[in-house]
Amino acid sequence: MYDPYLLVKCFSLIPKKAIFAENNIIMEFKRNIIITGGAGFIGSHVVRLFVNKYPEYHIINLDKLTYAGNLANLKDVEDKPNYTFVRADICDFDKMCELMTQYRVDGVIHLAAESHVDRSIKDPFTFAQTNVMGTLSLLQAAKLYWESLPEGYEGKRFYHISTDEVYGALKLTNPEGVESPFTTKASSDHHHAYGKDFFTEDKKYQPHSPYSASKASSDHFVRAFHDTYGMPTIVTNCSNNYGPYQFPEKLIPLFINNIRHRKPLPVYGKGENVRDWLYVEDHARAIDLIFHKGNVADTYNIGGFNEWKNIDIIKVVIKTVDRLLGRPEGADEDLITHVTDRLGHDARYAIDSRKLQKELGWEPSLQFEEGIERTVKWYLDHQDWMDNVTSGDYMKYYDDMYKNR
């Protein structure tokens, strides 16, 4: 599949003139940006932000539409003139080469990935294939296309979205929580840190799960393409996101839906693992800022200094759902069911995002309480979205729709 002769084939199929030919769709835009994984949770927020904020950019949403991709996430932008959806697999190297040329891509924002730790424990191969080989395929396609242009890498950007999980796990040296030394807008009444150590950009990579190992590997490939070929790359590592359109296999949407239907809430182990939570639109804002203003070859950590033990955040979610559904607050705590812990469950993630705040002026816009309120309300108000996703109907729909393309 990665035979170097394919490269020659790939470009010889397209007459050189065609690469620079006038094309109505492509020529009228100031930039042509591929966003991979745009039908997923975070990707859909990034696509929406870019399509609405930059009508002068052509945004090409490249997504395979796995179980996690859902075009219903982008209904509000699908008819915009600067938006195009392409169903493709990032592992399909020939196709990636073709798309780079067809759309004269000058920017890539790469979010497509297998993203769920539990699935990676069951099926690590798919994670290596998509996250490592898929990223490599996309990198190589961008490299070949950009190197074929007279201006080369000038004005180009390959921005890879990664996770805090590549840094491994931190210790809960302060299980009761301590006042964080940082100021944050993420939360008004929750400034606790559960340990003194944080993930800074120079922290050694120590991934533990097959998911984080595959993301770490892809991060290394992206940096290697800068160091070896001079490709203008950027990597960011973000903490756990929450908000609308997240697939309900992840903690927050799964639990909101289960509480609504009075189903058990499977808490892994004692529920004492700590995660650092950021509202998804704040991540999208950071991606926008870094894509435009970040330094090439640099790394930025993105997070809100907003650490929560799982059991505490679960109780906040229960109270919020109960209140919004008119049930007595906390009544649904009886649904909490402690189940066997996740294998290799990382104890604590905590991002130090001061570099991003200091250098580019980004900080979270939302108080955590407001973010959770918005999130719970969104899922309760969009039961049709949830039913569609949990029934798998949308998968059948897309398979029929795209079967012959």
Of the candidates 159, 211, 245, 379, the residue annotated as catalytic is 211
CB-wise, 16 or 270, nearer to ligand TYD?
Answer: 270
Residue 242 annotated as catalytic: no
What minimum distance in Å lies between the beta carbon of 312 and ligand NAD?
18
Residue 374, burial from CB neighbour count under 10 angstroms (0-12, 13-18, 19+): middle
221 or 308, CB closer to ligand TYD?
308
Query: In 3D, which of 116, 292, 137 has the Cα closest to residue 222?
Result: 137
User: According to the binding rule CB under 6 A, does residue 67 interact with ligand TYD?
Assistant: no
Catalytic residue among 89, 164, 322, 363: 164
CB 114 within 8 A of CB 214: yes
Which CB atom, from 40 or from 364, has the smaller least distance to ligand NAD?
Answer: 40
Q: Can you say how many angstroms the Cα of residue 226 is from the centroid of all Cα atoms in its chain?
A: 22
Closest CA to 190 of 182, 200, 201, 199: 182
- Cα→Cα distances 97→11, 213, 229, Å: 8, 27, 17
For residue 266, state whether it binds ligand TYD (rule: CB under 6 A). Answer: yes
Nearer to ligand TYD, 347 or 360 (CB): 347
H or E segment and range at residue 174: none
Task: Pick the binder of ligand NAD from 29, 83, 247, 305 (CB under 6 A).
Answer: 247
Tokens 């990664």 — which residue? 162
How far, in Å, CA of 144 to CA of 6, rounded? Answer: 11
By beta-carbon proximity to ligand NAD, the closer residue of 39 and 321 is: 39
State the minimum distance, in angstroms, from the CB of residue 39 to ligand NAD. Answer: 4
- What residues between 16 and 45 interact with ligand NAD by CB under 6 A? 36-37, 39-43
Q: Which residues does 41 contact at the CB level (< 8 Å), separation at least 6?
A: 68, 73, 115, 241, 243, 245, 246, 247, 250, 280
Residues facing 301 on adjacent strands: 237
Q: Which does 212 bind (CB under 5 to 8 A by kind): ligand NAD, ligand TYD, none?
A: none
Interaction between residue 347 and ligand TYD (CB under 6 A): no
Is 165 considered catalytic here? yes
Give the phi and the psi of residue 45 in degrees, each rounded to 5.
Answer: -70, -35
Q: Is 164 a catalytic residue?
A: yes
Which tokens in the block code for residue 253? 């949407």
- Name which of residues 271 to 290 contact ligand TYD (CB under 6 A): 273, 275
Q: Restricting to residues 285-324, which ones interact with ligand TYD according to CB under 6 A?
A: 310
Please identify, using beta-carbon distances, which residue of 61 and 236 lies nearer to ligand TYD: 236
Identify the active-site residue in 63, 114, 165, 281. 165
Q: What minimum distance in Å lies between the beta carbon of 267 and ligand TYD? A: 5
- Residue 234 contacts ligand NAD per CB under 6 A: no
Judge contact between 180 and 193, C-beta under 8 A: yes
Smallest separation (angstroms) from ligand TYD to the CB of 86: 28
Contact of 94 with 59, CB cutoff 8 Å = no
Q: Is 91 in the site for ligand NAD (CB under 6 A)?
A: yes
Q: Which is nearer to ligand NAD, 214 or 335 (CB)?
A: 214
> 203, 312 in Cβ contact below 8 A?
no
DSSP per residue, 73-122: GGTTTTT-TTEEEEE--TT-HHHHHHHHHHTT--EEEE--S---HHHHHH
Positions in 159-178 near ligand NAD (CB under 6 A)? 161, 163
- Could you list the residues that contact ligand NAD (CB under 6 A)? 36-37, 39-43, 63-66, 68-69, 89-91, 111-115, 130, 134, 161, 163, 215, 238, 240-241, 247
Known catalytic residues are 164-165, 211
- Could you list the residues that contact ligand TYD (CB under 6 A)? 117, 240, 250-251, 254, 266-268, 273, 275, 310, 342
